[in-house]
Amino acid sequence: KFILFLGLISIVGFILTIKISYGYLEHHEIMIRAVGVISIAVPPALPAAMGVGIIYALSRLRKGSIYCISPPSINVAGQVKTIVFDKTGTLTEDSLQFAGVIVPVDGALELVRDDVHKLAGEGKLARLRCLQCMAVCHSIADVRGKLVGDPLDVEMFNSTRWTLDEPQHEEHVIAELTLASPPEETKCGAVGVLKRFEFTSTLQRMSVVACDHSDGSFVAFTKGSPEMIYSLCDKSTVPADFAQVLEQHTQNGLRVLALAYKPLEDFCHEKVRHCKRADLED
């Protein structure tokens, strides 16, 4: 802005010099005086002064263990008024670390726990559904013994200690897309995914229709941003401290996802075939 201001002054001075001197001086003298005005308005030592300022800025940054490989960019950075940061580790790390799961207890959320695989043996349906949702609500696939898909989904699935098996296809029954099986010591059945509605950034969630092989029941599982899942859930089933716990962990730089389920009563394979996303998430 300073250089632009000096440039405007020099242009005004150039025009005024020509206008005032015209008719009194020779043309070459007028041009010499007009150019002289420009040289006076824009000091010759300005580039050197700016260079000294950049060197001083580099030394101050170096004291803060900040190293700049493009010194001219310092002047550009000086014009920045707002800086927005993404989640911790998004740009600096190529892997994710599962912190744990928070499940509801008597209408409130308990502390973070990393023993996700034990949820099935605690005799509470909500905890079992939480484990099942983590095991089937994803788009990962087993390719030659290696799980391939979104790193977050892979890390979350690994925490359950379940395995992806080849689904069994039966006649007159809708084919399962994937089959997640629990460890042998876990007292619950496998869960097969019958229909998947992929994650979209606009909806901020993904959903699946699954069949619990232990009793043949159909369940809809949804995973997505806490705010979106909260808006879809029956508020009477949401823990009272949901917002408080969410704020606590997001302020600590953690990426938080919410899980929800819905029992699909009176569902059959034929109804699953024709169901729409709105039917599940309504």
Q: Please give the single-letter amino acid code of residue 146.
A: K
**Count of Cβ atoms closer than 10 Å to residue 248 Cβ:** 13
How far is Cα 40 from Cα 114, in angstroms, rounded to an integer? Answer: 71
Which residue, chain included where needed, has tokens 């030659």? Answer: 144
CA distances from 187 to 63, 122, 183, 211, 217 (A): 59, 10, 9, 16, 16
Asked about 282 being catalytic, the answer comes back as: no
SS (H, E, C) 182-222: CCCCCCCCCEEEEEEEEEECCCCEEEEEEEECCCCEEEEEE
SS3 261: strand
Parallel, antiparallel or unpaired: strands 163-165 and 205-212: unpaired
Active site residues: 86
